[in-house]
Amino acid sequence: MKVQAAQLHKALDQLSSVYFITGEEIFQKEEACHKIRKKTYEQGYQEHIIYHIEQGFDWQVLESMINYPSLFSDKQCIELRIYETGQITRQAEKILSLWLNKKTNHHILLFVFSKFTKAMEKSAWFSMLEPNSTWIPVWKIEGRALIQWLNERVKQIGLTISYDALMLLAENTEGNLLAASQEIEKLPLILEHKKVTMQDITQLVEDSAQYDIFKLIDAFLKGDTKQVLRIFNYLQADATEWLNVVWVMSRELRILLHLSDLLHQGDFLDQAIYTIANLQKIPIFLMKKKRHDYLACLNRLNVITLKKGILYLVSLETLFKTGQYQCAKRGLLSFILVLSNPKQPFYDLLPDEFNASF
């Protein structure tokens, strides 16, 4: 049975023994794989095993998997990722034929092809497996189909979008479905309304180009808590490496601590900045741009707060490294907001729905 990727969720109401995912559009292929893995797991196939099939692969491994029960689960989903250098050999055909003859509901085979040719479609092994299979071919989405795909993705997150906004989104993501999906996922984090307009997409594109870790640090130095929250939302939706945020934040606190020390020793501001820039190997013009922000930050934070802040960041680093991401992200956001404006409790700044985004 051939099924379009967009209709796969309906076809999964009843599992097949074999799944074929073919085509060269990577995002749709990986999304289809994820849906099949999730559904098979829910149906009791709680062991998922992946084999990467390249030239020289020993297919007897698959035979052993099929003939001998697992110690961990009586049902298994076996994923076979077949690359261009790999092939279904005669040995593989024999093993697949044996599996088909003794087929039970203990194994599901998921084939993922990096390239699927007409010769493969006409092969004996495909003809043998195809009657028991669900085949999901994925194609590059273009033109009107791309607009429809984007519109459906927006609907899935509970929003609506104008046609001109859709066109602008399609133009800026240039048919890259992964990039488009990531941009759409950011929308609920930054919008206070349900209708996405062209202005919203324009702002999204501009913010995506501008917002990064260093812009977050700049907002912290300025004490702009609203901007801190806005940029943090973007970073959260953009698969940010949060340890990098911790390290850059720690560096800024050390710079502030050193700057405070030099100013108390009688150095002029420009002299102190020049000294720190040389020690830290930071371009002097970058630090000079932030000279007034550094002073404003020192006016609201004392030395004790800076020292405690550095120690707190060490504890957050440990949380991130041990996989406690949600707790660490909450702690990091709260910490930056408090240091941005110590007089305003950070929880007063958070919209009601913000916690749901963690």
The pLDDT tens digits for 77-117 are 889 998 877 788 888 888 888 888 876 678 889 999 988 88
DSSP string, 173-212: HTT-HHHHHHHHHHHHHH-SSSEE-HHHHHHHHHHHHH-S
354 has pLDDT over 90: no
Give tens-digit pLDDT for 269-312. 888 988 988 887 777 777 888 888 999 999 999 999 999 999 99
The tens digit of pLDDT for each residue in 5-18 reads: 888 988 999 999 99
pLDDT confidence of residue 73: 66
Q: pLDDT value at position 59?
A: 86
Q: What percent of the chain has pLDDT over 90?
A: 21
Count of beta carbons in the 10 Å neighbourhood of residue 280: 12
Assigned fold of 143-210 = Helicase, Ruva Protein; domain 3 (1.10.8)
The DSSP symbol for 45 reads: -
Q: How far apart are alpha carbons 69 and 184 in whole angstroms?
A: 43
Domain ranges of the chain: 5-137, 143-210, 213-340
pLDDT by residue (tens digit) across 226-259?
A: 888 888 887 876 667 788 889 889 989 999 999 9
Helix boundaries (H) for the chain: 8-11, 26-42, 60-67, 90-101, 118-121, 124-129, 143-156, 163-173, 177-190, 198-210, 213-222, 225-236, 242-264, 269-280, 284-289, 291-300, 303-321, 325-340
Per-residue pLDDT at 352: 42
pLDDT of residue 137: 93
User: At a CB cut-off of 8 Å and minimum separation 6, what does 328 contact?
Assistant: 242, 316, 319, 320
pTM recorded for the entire structure:
0.57
Query: What average pLDDT does this structure show over 180-206?
Result: 81
pLDDT of residue 342: 80
Q: What is the CATH architecture assignment of 213-340?
A: Up-down Bundle (1.20)
Average pLDDT of the residues of the chain: 84
Q: Band of the pLDDT at 150, cuts 50, 70, 90?
A: very high
- The correct answer on CATH 3.40.50.300 for the domain covering 5-137 is yes
Can you give the pLDDT at residue 110? 93
To the nearest 10°, report the CA torsion of 172, 174, 180, 183. Answer: -20
